[in-house]
Structure 1
Amino acid sequence: MTLRVSIVSDSTGETAESMLHAALAQFDDLDVTIERHRSVREVAQVHGIAGDFYRRGGHLIVSTLVKTDVLAALIADAKKYNLGYVSMMGPLVEEICRLTGRQPMQRPGVNRRVDGDYLRRVKAIEFTLRCDDGQSPELMTAADIVLFGVSRAGKTPLSIWLALKGYAVSNVPLLPGIAPDSRIWNVSVEKRVGLLISAERLRELRCERIVAMGLDPQKAAYADIDKIRAELDDARSLMEKLQCRIYDSTDHSYEELARNILEDLKML
Structure 2
Amino acid sequence: MTAKPILHYYIISDSIGETAIKVARSVLSQFPNVKTQIHRYTFISTPEQLQEALDEAASQDGLIFMTVIDYQLALQAEHFCVKTGLICYDLMHPYILEVQRRTGIEPVARSGIQHELTDAYFRRVEAMEFCMRYDDGRDPESLAQADLILLGISRTGKTPLSMYLATMGYKVMNIPLVPESDIPQDLYKYGESKIIGLTNNPKVLEKHRRNRMIEFGMPEHSKYTSPERIQAELAFSNQIYKELDCPVLNVSDRSIEESASIIVDLLDLPVV
Superposition TM-score, scaled by structure 2 size: 0.58
Aligned counterpart in structure 1 of residue 261 of structure 2, from 259, 262, 267: 259
Structure 1 residue 113: Cα displacement: 3.0
Number of residues of Structure 1 aligned to a counterpart in Structure 2? 176
Residue aligned with 1:180, SS: coil
CA–CA distance in structure 2, aligned partners of residues 120 and 183 of structure 1: 25
Aligned counterpart in structure 1 of residue 128 of structure 2, from 99, 116, 125: 125
After TM superposition, list the pairs within 5 Å mapping 1:1-268 onto structure 2: 95-96=66-67, 100=74, 113-187=116-190, 189-218=192-221, 220-267=222-269, 268=271
- Report the counterpart of residue 80 of structure 1 in structure 2: none
Contact 1:192/1:243 (<8 A) preserved: no
Structure 1 residue 192: Cα displacement: 1.1
1:12-47 CA-to-partner distances (Å, cap 9, x unmatched) read xxx9xxx9xxxxxxxxxxxxxxxxxxxxxxxxxxxx
Q: How large is the Cα RMSD of the aligned pairs? A: 2.9
Any gaps of 5 or more consecutive residues in structure 1? Answer: 1-14, 20-65, 69-93, 103-108
Letter in 2 for 1:114: L
Contact 1:141/1:188 (<8 A) preserved: no
Letter in 2 for 1:211: I
Higher Cα Rg, which structure: 2
Residue aligned with 1:151, SS: coil
Structure 1 residue 205: Cα displacement: 0.3
Contact 2:137/2:173 (<8 A) preserved: yes
1:60-89 CA-to-partner distances (Å, cap 9, x unmatched) read xxxxxx889xxxxxxxxxxxxxxxxxxxxx
Contact 2:191/2:245 (<8 A) preserved: no
CA–CA distance in structure 1, aligned partners of residues 122 and 114 of structure 2: 13
Identity %: 33
Letter in 1 for 2:127: A
Structure 1 residue 183: Cα displacement: 2.6
CA–CA distance in structure 1, aligned partners of residues 115 and 199 of structure 2: 38
